[in-house]
Every structure is written in structure tokens, then in C-alpha cells.
Amino acid sequence: MAHGVTGKDRRFQYLSEDVGREMALYCFCAVFNLEYDPNAKFDTYEEYAVMKRETTFDMGEMSIKKILRDHMTDKERWHSIWGTGGSKHPYTEEDYRRLDELFDTYADRQLKAGGMDVQAEYVLRSTCQDVLFAEKCRSRGTKEDIQMYTQINKTIQDRLAAEQLRKKDAKPVEDVKLDSIVVALEKAGLARKGKLLSLAEVQEQLLRRLGALGGEPSHKYPYTIDAADQMLHMIQNNMYANDNLPEVTEIPENMRFDENVVCEFADEPNEKEVEAYQNMGLVREHIPEKEEEEERMPWQ
């Protein structure tokens, strides 16, 4: 912890009053080569500098455009990205949410392939605005609106075709460029600034994804291991019924999930699973540890 107020602290305070604390922190991190971490808790810049002394600027978020967008309200972000829709037909909150949904749909393949350039993003956002307008024409349903709907859809398809952004224009997997792989690795947290992390850092990231270092593993199933066993039991009995064989009252031990994979399932049943058990009259065999303690100690 830094003692007293330094010149940097005073300058940081002055800059924060002018441009906001987050932007001031970003500027100081860029100048003094420290990681930008907007979630860090600190009172003075010197405290932050001591906290981040082992970091470098390229370890944090470097895009000032993204930082500004992250601190916008929904309305500010919508206006920045989509505009207002014009004075005659201004966008409503429902329109903005629909535009966001449309963009997620149209941009999905591009993002999975490694991202998109500025021109592709502009084309897709323009397409989303046209789709929204076409949907409104179709919902009104007059002869003129249906004609406009047809015309807009043709314009959309022609635009996407010209930019090779239709599904059938997608390049085969073998044509994916090395740059796309690097971008995907960076998004997955396995590379930084175009370079792979060290072996120790990659191992840490993979272990975190598996949940071995705490937190929720990326592949964890939303239902309990008991529900998984119940599913196998029902599948087995359906197979027996199809083959005119007698059903079994419980799943054989050799068909149950191994206890070693318990960590890959939810610790406790969610509301849907509880409701399903009640409606189907199922009896839970694998009782979560919390429920076992409550049964053994009902007075607590």
C-alpha cells in the first residue's frame, strides 16, 4: 500500500473528475504499462500500481472502443450502434432488443469462424435494420406492405450475396486461415497478442475450464447425476419394451454413471428437475450432501 498522496495520485484524481474514473485508469495503465482492470478495488492510483506491478498493459482490455461501450447504458449503447430510427419512426426499446437478437443470429457464423471486419459488421447491422422494417411491413399486411416486404427481402439477399455472407457462401473448414485460429485461441483465453500462453498458463486455463481449480466447469451439466441415471433407466426400459422384453425396476450397477464423474453434474436439482421427479413419481437415489445433512440433523 502506498503511503501519502503522490503527484500521480493527484493527477489521477484530477483526470477522473474530467473524464471519469474508468477512462482515467485506462490512460494511466497505457502510459505506465499496467494491466487495465476496471473491477479492481483501490483508493489511490499508487495502490493500484502496487497491486498490478507484475502485470503489463497487454494483459488487460486494450480496446478503448469496447471499454467505452461497456460503460454505456443500454440506451446509450443502442443509440451508438443502431441510431435512433429517424424522427418519423423512432426505434422503441422493443425494436432495439429485436435488433440485438437479429445481429446475434446473422453474426453467429462470422464470430464462430474467427470474427469479422468492420465492413462485414456494417453490412450485417444494415441487414438487421432492413429485416426489422420488413417484419413490420409483414405484420401490417396491406398490399403495399407485402410488396415492400418482398422488395426488402430481395435487397437483403442481394446485399448478403455481394458480401458472401450467406450460409452457402461460408468457406469450408479447411479454408480457415491461421489468423482465425489465433483469434479463436485469444477469445478462449489461450493466447495473448497473437502468441500462445506459456505451458504453465495454458495448463491453468484448461484446469479452470474443467473446474479443477474451483468454480463451475465449462461442460457441467445442469442436472444431477441421479437424473442422468434415471434417464439411462428409462432409455433401457424403452429398448426392452420395443423388443418385447420385461422391464427392470432399477438400472443395473454396470450401467450407472461412475462416481468419478459426479463433479460434471449439478450438485443440487433445479426447479425443473424437482418438478419432473414429483410429476413422474421418481425416487431420488443419489441425495445431495446438503439434503443428507438435513435428514440426519432435522433440528438444524
List the one residue out of 23, 19, 43 whose CA is nearest residue 31. Answer: 23
Which position has the higher pLDDT, 293 or 39? 39
CB atoms within 10 A of CB 177: 11
Res. 212 pLDDT band, cuts 50 70 90: low
Which residues, in sequence order, are bridge partners of residue 191? 196
Q: If you average pLDDT over residues 196-224, what whole number do you get?
A: 74
Contacts of 182 (CB under 8 A, 6+ apart): 191, 194
Per-residue pLDDT, 294? 44
d(CA 293, CA 300): 9
List the one residue out of 53, 5, 15, 11 whose CA is nearest residue 32. Answer: 53
- Residue 99 φ/ψ, nearest 5 degrees: -60, -40
Which range in 39-53, 207-221, 241-255 is most confidently predicted, on average pLDDT? 39-53
**How is residue 24 written as a grid cell?**
482515467
Domain boundaries, the chain: 7-68, 73-175, 178-210, 225-293
Contact 99, 82 (CB under 8 A): yes
d(CA 64, CA 284): 52
Return the axis-axis angle of helices 118-140 and 93-112, rounded to nearest 10°: 130
Residue type, 211: G
Res. 1 pLDDT band, cuts 50 70 90: very low
